[in-house]
Amino acid sequence: MGRRIYCLTLSYDGTRYRGWQRLPNAETVQGRVEAILSEIFAQPIEIDGSGRTDAGVHARMQVVSFEAEQLPIKKVLSQLRSLLPADIGAINLRYAPERFHARLSATEKTYTYHIHNSASPDVFMRKYRVQIVQRLDVELMRQAAQRLCGTHDFIAFCSNKHYKKSSVRTIKHIKIEESDENLTISMCADGFLYNMARILVGTLLEIGLGKREIDSIDEIFASKRRETAGETAPAKGLCLTEVRYEHTDFR
């Protein structure tokens, strides 16, 4: 039997996981999925995710690649679905081109942040939306979001103080949509630094709450210091919602 590159799309409720990345003594999404794939293929399987979501962050679409012996796709997918826990879902599974790598081949990612802007709680979505009682000024937040878009050095929006590689990223767009009392902030970029999505949201929220001026965004970029940006917004509101690739015809 030959070996193949597989492309697996997962969704997960990150509530009870210590994030994506495999860790020695903690439950992580990568660790759990690798254990199950290793069982199915009866050999150790290592997987690459498109990105490492933080502890408590969710994914509607996490793309994963791995190499393994060629087995029938339908059979592997149904085994996966029967073995995965209820909070990790296998959305689909495909053979990918030989050079495909879920992280290195990705050209664009979208994270969506969910806010329930109301004094009245939403019990059903309580693990996926952050409740903010004070009314947010959405128009101000939209103006601020425009200042964040484009190509910048986002080092001030990164929690890793020892980050050595280029911290220049391009935010393609930030969409803020309101529906009833729910607010969603979708951020599309060529890549995100450690905690960047949550610090972007934390900064926008401070503006929406009137605690920060829009002009402070220029100062954050100029300072390159983490302390000048907003707080890191809570993990549970964040969800990886889309990953794009140059050639996606195989998906």
Q: Catalytic residue, from 54, 137, 215, 218: name it.
A: 54
Query: Least separation, in Å, of the C-beta of 62 and a copy of itself?
Result: 11
Q: What is the DSSP track for 8-50?
A: EEEEE-GGGSS-SS--TTS--HHHHHHHHHHHHHTS---EEES
Q: Tokens 């947010």, residue?
A: 136
Is 54 one of the catalytic residues?
Answer: yes
Instruction: Kindly list the residues in this chain that would bind a copy of itself in the complex (CB under 8 A).
Output: 11-13, 58, 60, 81, 86-92, 119-124, 126, 128
Query: Least separation, in Å, of the C-beta of 126 and a copy of itself?
Result: 5
Cβ proximity to a copy of itself: between 83 and 149 the closer is: 83
Query: Least separation, in Å, of the C-beta of 83 and a copy of itself?
Result: 12
Cβ proximity to a copy of itself: between 74 and 161 the closer is: 74
Cβ proximity to a copy of itself: between 25 and 82 the closer is: 82
The dihedral of CA 182, 149, 237, 215: what is its sign?
Answer: negative
The three-point CA angle 192-152-185 to 5° equals 50
| Secondary structure (H, E, C), 86-119 | CCEEEEEEEEECCCCCCCCCEEEEEEEEEEECCC
Q: Annotated catalytic sites, by residue?
A: 54
